[in-house]
Amino acid sequence: MEQTLYEKVGGEEAVAKVVDYFYSELVLKDDTVSHFFEHTDMEKQRRHQTKFISFALGGPNQYSGKSMAKAHEGMNLQPAHFDAIAKHLHDALAHFGVSEADIDKALSKVASLREDIIYK
């Protein structure tokens, strides 16, 4: 049986490291998207994102947060914001040695949420 992307990257502990790097080294240093997180409890955000990305990569569904549409309601995210976040996720996964083929699989799952996130 083929491993899930979640198993390939090393499970929740590895995903948590990717998420931490994603926010601290990429998202929060990017002026085009960092302002969306000015009033966000980043520890809570990291926990939610770790559970969400774990599930998106084929891991257990421990995500109990709002729907994507509800979570992004009123933010008026534009395609450029979505694309910046997707690029940062790509770069965070690559930083931890995830193959381009596996990154593409992960990003295609993220892309499927695009319509629930932008223009809300």
Report the pLDDT value the prediction gives residue 86, as an integer from 0 to 100.
96
Domains of the chain: 10-117 (1.10.490.10)
CA 12 vs CA 8, 34, 57, 119: distances in Å: 11, 25, 10, 31
- The answer on pLDDT for 64 being more than 90 is no
Report the pLDDT value the prediction gives residue 14, as an integer from 0 to 100.
95
* Residue type present at position 33: V
Is 81 annotated to bind ligand? no
Report the pLDDT value the prediction gives residue 61, as an integer from 0 to 100.
81
Is 72 annotated to bind ligand? yes
